[in-house]
Amino acid sequence: MWLAEQMGTLGQVNAAWAGDRGEPDAGVRAALALSGTGQDAYLAAVAALCGARLLMPVVAAGDEAGGGPDPERHAEMSAVLMRSASGRNGALAFTGADALHAFDPQARPVPCTLDEVATTALDAGAEAIVVDQAGPNLLVIEGDLLMQLAAGNRLVPLHDGWGWLSVTNAGD
């Protein structure tokens, strides 16, 4: 069981997602549906997520108490961090607005990439990324996979297994 908890404030939304309506990618959802059938299927789902647009949920956080509008009060938008019954933290990501709203109808979607979610997770002290927590197919990414993704790497299939593709900007 995961319990919602606030984590740090997010930066600017990536302009590459302008006009995104939150529809899930059918190929990514299909890969997630198969992810529990074995290690290769799990890694194929992670690889599919590497090239996908994900949605991080954000909610208002801050001083919202009181009986009416007060210009001195403010709220910041913060991403949601989940805590499992065992005390482990995970950052949430969703493959579509439908899955995000199944989790929390009031949460606002922030489009991002898997490496951005991984970086946010580690910055917040999370030990995992929890994808589609409310369904249709939950996937947890943790350990070395999380570290590699946060470093900006993408998991790719090779003819003899799996490998990491390092993604850098041309100006770097």
The pLDDT score that the predictor gives to residue 160 is 95
What global pTM score does this model have?
0.81
Position 8 scores a pLDDT of: 46
Supply 138's token pair: 């939950």
The residue extents of the domains of the chain are 2-9+24-61+76-155
What per-residue confidence (pLDDT) applies to 73? 55
Output the pLDDT for position 74.
Answer: 57
Question: Block means of pLDDT (10 residues each) for the chain, length 172 residues?
Answer: 45 61 90 96 97 88 53 62 88 94 88 92 93 93 96 95 81 52
